Structure 1
């Protein structure tokens, strides 16, 4: 694919001034150099000084594999910023998808920029953007993702505003969490993805596709990625092993146009040089041990594990919250997004009275493009809490909501009484 996109448009002034470190470039070349090359260029420690002789990994099914010799030495050594060379070099390995997202936004966004986000959005994106004083423009969504009509309305409003004012910049990036979205648990349909892609292509908007839950969907078919639809080179995609192998390994990667990936590589190069070599080699060995069929079998078992927990959680909510709340059944991920009836703002209810009852839910404010507005939504996670405690928490939440509704009615009655007097 030859893209006609002008990528300089998406690179902020600060990012455009970054230059590759010569030492890092030599490290990259050394991994591809002929075996008889003599190099005195590396500033690397000698592997003979590392205390590790063998790392033996035992899996839950009883099988095991080991890292030793040259493979272990590679796993403990510096590597090129892009990642462990035996892996696909077209990718850029990162310490979790959060790092990839952070470095990408740092490359694109300048102070005061408009940034398009789904509303509600993943809170981790918000904390990256806050220091830039970015203006988050939330796009309303339904169970199938952001609504194309709403996105067009926002973009046309921006165009009119900046035309009238004779200044300002159109939004140039949109952040999306399309599969098993955090916090809603919704998954964007293929038709919706195609519509959104066409709109972004028309308005020259870069799509940041954060798909950390793509292997954790509960649908019959694997959702189609924005990256696979990308014919114009306007998608940067973030993948992660955190939800399906180990979050502590911090193994993730991003894929996108080479011109932009190279710039993001410079950001990582200037901060932590490269992501964990040990994590990459360990995961590569695990995948070789499993094989492709074994990997797919693991994905299937993880999906079934979380689907069972989701089904239990929804059944518990049906039992305790049916007349108090509304929700959509999550099609992926680890969360359910709950709308409370008769309570306009849940913050004090959860953060004061809820904590006193020793039940903890996240107020929806944490995920809204404008967290200062009243919010009647709650995010509940079904990933780790024992099932009996999930049921107990939903029962206690129902009690808490009834108490809150009663308190609000009493306040309203008191107000009406005072007005009449």
Structure 2
């Protein structure tokens, strides 16, 4: 890693060096922000600003140069869009290592030449936000940051005590099934348990229709490799799960987005796509969708299945949150209405229990399971056996449902806390969409506030969330954010929301010097 240049200089000295390559000429007709970005660009490319240099905060640089903070913000945005600088939550804005090094020096001498082409193609392959997921998961280790970004169970809902008791009680007798190799399809006991639980939710499956996976992301990858060739088209909801977007792009697919509303995917717009194009499959999260939390209406589910049958297009149903519901009953999966075997169903224990177990499953017609099993064994011989055994034991001992009931109560309480904090601390004019289950809250920012600008401002308050545009394949989502309420502690939910409110008001104050009349936050009906 390069030296953090700024951290080794007092700010006044660093400002002096900034002035040496930013010379503003207010009469030459070039916008001031472009003059600033050009000066910084030349300094970065020449090496005057080494890799890892922390640039001054926008406010400090604006004061030094005698310009508006928005001018500096626009200059930084210019450089960020070119890949020359990058904002990091809690660390500020840094010069990117890869942005200015000549191609022949990009890697050290021990790096094989074939890696050069892979690095160059990375952004085109899986998009400019390829590292977002790994950066979000690393936020949990940053104690100074309040993260409302990760959709994972909180520490106190990870079933460590249950797992410990099961291991102490039974592992000695079950060491072969728990610690040895298991079938590629998965432990038979777990597959039987999963099939039985799915039948209770109305899905007609048996053990031969279940394939155990190392996480549902593996399932997306296997199905993608099975169904897609480079250049094939995939239909997704807009917005949709970021991990799916990245996976489909990595497989070379062309993604077609269908808008959603409070009832889920706009299937009235889907038919025209199916009639004109030949997508290989439709990807949907019909139950407590990520990121919006929307529950697809029964009418649209039926219409979606009709269209899939008419145009002979399979549906990949991603149901990570179906058992995290806040009402009286679990919504049935889309697959429960499938009479023709057109729905390939994915779910995971990452949200229900613990992501570290790495156990998920695919439910599909038997020929698909057989083919997927062959694909799977070329990538991993079997899903970790001890994770499968632990979950099978939890189900056998009737402990899973008890755990899920506690989780639902916990997450509903946290959602209410987040909604109350938003009403208390956030400025008027936004729109909140309370979900009836899951882990995520979708929010439309007030006025024309942009999520990326708010994210940058919120970094100064040491709080993180996810910008809505990451979930869009159509270039939209700039005015939306996703907040995850399951993972943070209750006290951090209130404080995190308060900090975002501080950042919002600061952004709004810059846009106008006059007071604006407050409008009530619109809380829509539960979806």
The alignment's TM-score, normalised by the length of structure 2, stands at 0.61
Alignment-derived partner of residue 388 in structure 2: 280
Q: May I ask how many residue pairs the two structures share in their alignment?
A: 338
1:209 aligns with 2:304: no
Aligned ranges for residues 28-39 of structure 1 at < 5 Å?
none
Alignment-derived partner of residue 369 in structure 1: 473
The alpha-carbon deviation at position 63 of structure 1 amounts to 8.3
Alignment-derived partner of residue 247 in structure 2: 128
Alignment-derived partner of residue 381 in structure 1: 484
Q: Helix, strand or coil: the match of 2:181?
A: coil
Deviations 1:115-160 (A, max 9, x none): 110111011101111123322111111122112212223334xx1x
The alignment's TM-score, normalised by the length of structure 1, stands at 0.75
Alignment-derived partner of residue 49 in structure 1: none
Matching residue within 487, 501, 519 for 1:398? 501
Aligned ranges for residues 108-119 of structure 1 at < 5 Å?
108-119=227-238
2:467 and 2:481 in contact (8 A); partners too: yes
1:78 aligns with 2:78: no
2:461 and 2:500 in contact (8 A); partners too: no
Aligned ranges for residues 186-197 of structure 1 at < 5 Å?
186-197=294-305
Alignment-derived partner of residue 462 in structure 2: 358
Matching residue within 118, 141, 144 for 2:263? 144
CA RMSD in angstroms comes to 2.2
Alignment-derived partner of residue 9 in structure 1: none
Q: Helix, strand or coil: the match of 1:188?
A: coil
Alignment-derived partner of residue 32 in structure 1: none
1:102 aligns with 2:207: no
Alignment-derived partner of residue 352 in structure 2: 244
CA distance in 1, matches of 2:163, 2:342: 41
1:328 aligns with 2:433: yes
1:190 and 1:224 in contact (8 A); partners too: no
CA distance in 1, matches of 2:368, 2:396: 30
CA distance in 2, matches of 1:125, 1:60: 30
The alpha-carbon deviation at position 322 of structure 1 amounts to 6.0
Deviations 1:340-387 (A, max 9, x none): 12225321331x2221221111111111123x4461000111112222
CA distance in 2, matches of 1:64, 1:78: 18
Given the superposition, is the C-alpha separation of residues 265 and 398 from structure 1 closer, same or farther in structure 2, using an over 3 Å criterion? same
Where in structure 1 are there 5+ consecutive unaligned residues?
1-56, 160-168, 411-421
Alignment-derived partner of residue 295 in structure 1: 400
1:177 aligns with 2:296: no
CA distance in 1, matches of 2:332, 2:467: 31
Matching residue within 212, 236, 246 for 1:93? 212
Alignment-derived partner of residue 109 in structure 2: none
1:344 and 1:374 in contact (8 A); partners too: no
Given the superposition, is the C-alpha separation of residues 408 and 151 from structure 1 closer, same or farther in structure 2, using an over 3 Å criterion? farther
Deviations 1:398-420 (A, max 9, x none): 2322322333458xxxxxxxxxx
CA distance in 2, matches of 1:147, 1:374: 17
Aligned ranges for residues 15-26 of structure 1 at < 5 Å?
none
Deviations 1:257-289 (A, max 9, x none): 122222211121001111111111122122222
The alpha-carbon deviation at position 96 of structure 1 amounts to 1.4
CA distance in 2, matches of 1:390, 1:230: 39
Please, which moves more after superposition, 393-402 or 117-126?
393-402
1:58 and 1:65 in contact (8 A); partners too: no
1:179 and 1:217 in contact (8 A); partners too: no
The alpha-carbon deviation at position 192 of structure 1 amounts to 2.1
2:237 and 2:284 in contact (8 A); partners too: yes
Where in structure 2 are there 5+ consecutive unaligned residues?
1-159, 193-206, 514-527
Runs of 4+ in 1 over 4 A off after TM superposition: 60-65
2:267 and 2:300 in contact (8 A); partners too: yes
1:190 and 1:223 in contact (8 A); partners too: no
2:427 and 2:505 in contact (8 A); partners too: no
The alpha-carbon deviation at position 84 of structure 1 amounts to 1.0
1:81 and 1:274 in contact (8 A); partners too: yes
1:231 aligns with 2:339: yes
CA distance in 2, matches of 1:256, 1:389: 41
